[in-house]
Amino acid sequence: MQKVALIPALVVLLLAGTVSAQTYFPPAFGAPAYTPAPVSTSGCVVLTSDLSFGSRGSEVTKLQQFLVAQNYPGGGSWMITGYFGQATVQAVRNFQQTAGLSMTGSLDSATRSAIQTRSCGFETPFPPSHAAPAPVTYPTPYPYTTPSYLPTLPSTYPTYPFGSVSISSLSTYSAQVGTSVTIYGTGFDAYGNTVHVGGSTATAYGSGGTSLTFTVPSLSQGTYSVYVTNSRGTSNSLSLTVSQTPSVCAPSYYQWQLWSQPCGIYSNVVLDHLSPNWASAGSTVTIRGNGFSSVGNTIYFGESVIANVASTNNGTTMTFMIPSQIQTPYGFQQVLPGNYPVRVVNATGAQSNSLTLSVTMQGSSSLSIADVSGPTSINLGAQGTWIVVVNVPYGAYLSTTVTWGDGSPSYTPVVAPPYAFGMQQTLTFTHVYNSAGTYTITFTVSSSRGGNSVTATKTVTVISTGGGSGPLNLNSLAPMQGAVGTTVTLYGSGFASTDNVVHFGIGGSRSVSSTNSGTQIAYAVPTNVSACDLIAPGYFCGAPVQTVTPGTYPVYVTNSTGATNIVYFTVQ
């Protein structure tokens, strides 16, 4: 007892100089001492603070360099930014899975310790003839010469039991994919144990040679044999029932919030990588993984849903095209450069992990007019509306001139030209003709990029009266006032049977039917209005939404023959 008490004091004396860590592994029963060769400390990673999503700095950079060196699918040097983003969260989860840790995606003390152990450990494993106890570390000066006055170290150390490997029980006999299960038994090595679950394998981590903990691998529902192999041989097997896999995406009351909600990796649908993992809108991307259904898969790109996608190569490959627009709570928005999560739900409802797809600069390299829509005939004195859809280069300023063909001055907006975000832009123009006849409208659109311009034409016939049931006219509203939701009857003439547009404030409704030979239209006062209400389906519109509040709103009707006069409705 006195000799043992001297050790701490003598170690303190030795720490007065430069100290290094010398690790000693005790021998197995009857075996000579064995000390592995240490790994070079140049790759040693020591992280001193906890990190999580949103962290920045040199510690984040060190963590990312370590994670990139692990060669996880989808990783790469592009991750090394010093910012703890979604890609870093996923890579940390991958490491935590291999280390048998709770897969939080954040760097806590346990994860930092596991990283240090992996990067600063020993490169030579224990030979099969040696047991693998926990190492005993003694601080010593370097170079080290054992002083003659040091006490003799104990000649025996605790060791793990030898003999053939055997398992006696499991902590649970029914578990979900991705949950932890502990195996109890004897003969487990400190390192190099492999747990077999059916035809899949899992890395196991143990303590004391009598227990191992592993994560249930990605398997379909069913009962599987579990057994262990290591340097001692192969164990007996026990049965484990793999139950329903859990939902992998965090719930959200607002669909839009799913942009920032990471998906887990526990599912029998697993995404390995995207090819390519960066591309522009309109490009085709291949998803590689497993667990895809032959038909009926759903791909989620951000909040865009691509339904009924078939897979190939035995459920390991799917392709999709990056959309140019995505649905948001504010309507359709164009896909701008940035990072978007991609995940898959197969036909059975099983969900995959999430991978990141980077969308690069997009848009046509040249300017063109894709479509011009509007009336081919209108009434004399009625207002006509024409919509021009333009394919534009990304980051261009557009200017537009319209020649109406009736001798009136060409129309050029006096406001600053709109800034194009790429792909397609929708432009709207209105005009009133004061003379009957047939006119050719010429639309000219110019781009600040490349200095080029394009033109398109549209022919319109101006007639002196409306068709069918008389001139197009709005005589009155009944009632003239009321609350939101009130049904109002519009009385007039010349209404089309099905294709009327009722204008209410800045918005309204398209494809409204009439009754009584085109003299009546029933219309409910809306809760919200937007200029997007008047845009034909299939076209992008980013106009704001306005709540209908008490006040006076203009009401009029347009159809293929023109536009009526305006009558006002008061919202109470």
The DSSP line for 17-85 is S-EEEEEE----TT-----PPBPPGGG-----S-B-TT-BSHHHHHHHHHHHHTT-TT--GGG-SSB--
d(CA 36, CA 431): 87
Question: Predicted confidence band at 332 (pLDDT cuts at 50, 70, 90)?
Answer: low
155: left (phi over 0), alpha (psi -120 to 50) or beta: alpha
- Residue 4's SS3 state is helix
pLDDT of amino acid 528: 93
Average pLDDT over residues 433-443: 87
Query: If residue 112 lies in a helix (H) or strand (E), which one and from where to where?
Result: helix 109-119
178-224: pLDDT as tens digits: 777 889 998 888 777 889 998 888 877 776 778 888 888 777 778 99
d(CA 568, CA 321): 47
Q: Are 271 and 353 in contact (CB under 8 A)?
A: yes
Amino acid at 335: V
d(CA 410, CA 373): 19
Q: Domain 2-141 carries which CATH code? A: 1.10.101.10
Query: In the structure encoding, which two tokens stand for residue 343, read together?
Result: 């995940």
Average pLDDT over residues 139-148: 46
Q: Say which DSSP state 411 is in.
A: B
Q: In DSSP terms, which residues pair with 320 in a beta bridge? A: 285
Residue closest to 339 by CA, chosen among 319, 321, 322, 356: 356
d(CA 486, CA 492): 19
Q: Domain 368-463 carries which CATH code? A: 2.60.40.10
For residue 143, whether the previous peptide bond is cis, meaning omega lies within 30 degrees of 0, is: yes
**Residue 244 CB coordination number (10 Å):** 10
**16 or 447: which carries more pLDDT confidence?**
447
> Would strands 194-197 and 222-230 be described as parallel, antiparallel, or unpaired?
antiparallel
d(CA 56, CA 62): 11
5-50: pLDDT as tens digits: 333 333 333 333 333 333 333 333 333 333 333 333 347 888 989 9
What is the pTM (predicted TM-score) of this model? 0.27
Q: Are 215 and 202 in contact (CB under 8 A)?
A: yes
Q: Are 361 and 445 in contact (CB under 8 A)?
A: no
Q: How far from each other are the two terminal CA atoms of the chain, in whole angstroms?
A: 95
494-518: pLDDT as tens digits: 888 888 899 999 999 999 999 887 8
What is the CATH T-level fold of the domain 166-243, as seen in this structure?
Immunoglobulin-like (2.60.40)
- Residue 255's SS3 state is helix
Between the CA of residue 104 and those of 60, 81, 87, 100, 116, what are the distances in Å? Answer: 16, 21, 13, 12, 18
Range among 168-172, 258-262, 322-326 rated most confident: 168-172
Amino acid at 34: Y
pLDDT of amino acid 139: 46
pLDDT of amino acid 490: 94
d(CA 515, CA 493): 10
Query: If residue 300 lies in a helix (H) or strand (E), which one and from where to where?
Result: strand 297-301
What percentage of the chain exceeds 70 in pLDDT?
73
pLDDT of amino acid 556: 94
**Residue 37 CB coordination number (10 Å):** 7
Question: Predicted confidence band at 309 (pLDDT cuts at 50, 70, 90)?
Answer: very high
For the chain, give the mean pLDDT: 76
Question: Predicted confidence band at 168 (pLDDT cuts at 50, 70, 90)?
Answer: very high
HSE at residue 271, side-chain half, CA atoms within 13 A, is: 30
Question: Predicted confidence band at 555 (pLDDT cuts at 50, 70, 90)?
Answer: very high
Are domains 2-141 and 368-463 of this chain identical in fold? Answer: no
Report helix, strand and coil shares of the chain as percent, to nearest 5: 10, 40, 50
What is the CATH T-level fold of the domain 255-359, as seen in this structure?
Immunoglobulin-like (2.60.40)
Average pLDDT over residues 252-259: 36
* Burial class (CB within 10 angstroms; exposed 0-12, middle 13-18, buried 19+) of 223: exposed
- Residue 478's SS3 state is strand
Average pLDDT over residues 456-465: 83
Q: Can you give the residue ranges of every domain in the chain?
A: 2-141, 166-243, 255-359, 368-463, 473-571
**407 or 128: which carries more pLDDT confidence?**
407
User: 346-369: buried (b, 16+ CB within 10 Å) or exposed (e) per residue?
Assistant: beeebbbbbbbbebeebbbeebeb
Residue closest to 445 by CA, chosen among 394, 404, 400, 395: 400
d(CA 95, CA 98): 5
Q: Domain 473-571 carries which CATH code? A: 2.60.40.10
Q: Are 301 and 326 in contact (CB under 8 A)?
A: yes
What is the maximum alpha-carbon separation in the chain?
120
- Measured on CA atoms in the order 301, 302, 303, 304, is the torsion positive or negative? negative
Q: Are 520 and 491 in contact (CB under 8 A)?
A: yes
* Burial class (CB within 10 angstroms; exposed 0-12, middle 13-18, buried 19+) of 442: middle
pLDDT of amino acid 25: 33
Q: In degrees to the nearest 10, what's the CA dihedral of 517, 520, 522, 526?
A: 130
d(CA 357, CA 280): 10
